[in-house]
Amino acid sequence: MLRGLAWQRLLPDVYVHRAAHRPDNHRMWCEAVALVLPAGAALAGPSAAYLWGAGLPPGDAPVTVVLPRAARMRPHSRVAVTRSVLAESDLTVHEGLPVTTALRTAFDLGRRPPRTEAVVAVDALLHHRAVDLSALREYATQRAGWPGLPLLREVLSVVEPVAGAPMETRLRLLLLDAGLPTPLVRYDVHDAGGKFVGRVHLAYPGRRVAVEYEPGPPREPDLLRQEATRFHALRAAGWRVVRCTADDVLRHPVRTVRMVAAALRGRPATQVNGLG
């Protein structure tokens, strides 16, 4: 057993040097949990998606693991245990850690409510090219009777592999669930002469309406100028632009839907542009 001020205990019999201790580092916790996994178990769910590049769980989230039905593991507040049938083909080693394959990871997360977060997870895995959509559909077809398949089928009907960020997916689903038309994702706008104007997050080309997710004002002056130039170029090309923040999507969904609906009805752009 390691003792002394130089070491930080993470789990029973698992320590990290204090110089390397990062309480909000999910990778560190995944490495620690991997050391105590029973045979046949693996990192799974949001933790596996994180390792596959989807970047889903916050740093303080517990590490999700999947165990075979008969396996046992000591409970710990930093570990979320699930149990499932695990075929050998569902397991792999990725970056030195035992994980569910990207395909099995997407299958599991797509069956896990709530629906919006299931779509966010599958969108992220598809966007990072960890999973192929046709392969995921085939994988699901071969597993009739598994729990959560109705949700997964619904998820697969609305996923967008080109969606670039979780909040973009949440914004898109907000509009769909409100009954608005299905927007195109990551759409390239051109002016009347065919010149490229810019790429928008969500687009209704027939109405020349763009819906943009704004993560926050750019910190770099050059980025701020580029964004302002793009926005004005879109307006000059005859497009209305509805700009939405995380606060709009998460705390004021009704207002956000009304802004987009107003733009689609063709109200003056001054009524629908701007943040908030």
Per-residue pLDDT of 73-101, as tens digits, reads 988 999 999 999 999 999 999 999 999 99
Residues 33 and 63: beta-carbon distance below 8 Å: yes
pLDDT of 268 higher than 60? no
Residues of the chain with CATH 3.40.960.10: 166-271
pTM for the model stands at 0.88
Tokens of 274: 């701007």
Minimal CA–CA distance to 106: which of 145, 182, 159? Answer: 159
Q: At what angle do helices 253-264 and 166-177 cross, to 10 degrees?
A: 70
Q: How many CB atoms lie within 10 A of CB 111?
A: 19
The string of pLDDT tens digits covering residues 122-179 is 999 999 999 999 999 999 999 999 999 999 999 999 999 999 899 999 999 999 999 9
What is the spatial distance between Cα 26 and Cα 50, in angstroms, rounded to a whole number? 8
Q: What Cα–Cα distance (Å) separates residue 32 from each residue in 18, 22, 29, 124?
A: 14, 12, 5, 25
Using CA atoms, how far apart are residues 172 and 213, in angstroms rounded to an integer? 10
For 166-271, CATH number? Answer: 3.40.960.10
Q: How far is CA 186 from CA 44, 124, 191, 204, in A?
A: 30, 14, 16, 11
List, for residues 36-70, the tens digit of each pLDDT value. 999 999 999 999 999 999 987 777 899 999 999 88
pLDDT of residue 152: 98
pLDDT of 265 = 94
CA dihedral 247, 251, 255, 261 (to 10 degrees): 70
Q: Angle between the 133-141 and 102-110 helix axes, to the nearest 10 degrees?
A: 70
pLDDT attached to residue 23: 83
Sign of CA dihedral 207, 250, 247, 27: negative
Mean pLDDT, all residues of the chain:
91
The maximal CA–CA distance of the chain, rounded, in angstroms, is 72
Which conformational region is residue 189 in: left (phi greater than 0), alpha (psi within -120 to 50 degrees), or beta?
A: beta
> Which tokens belong to 245?
């923040």
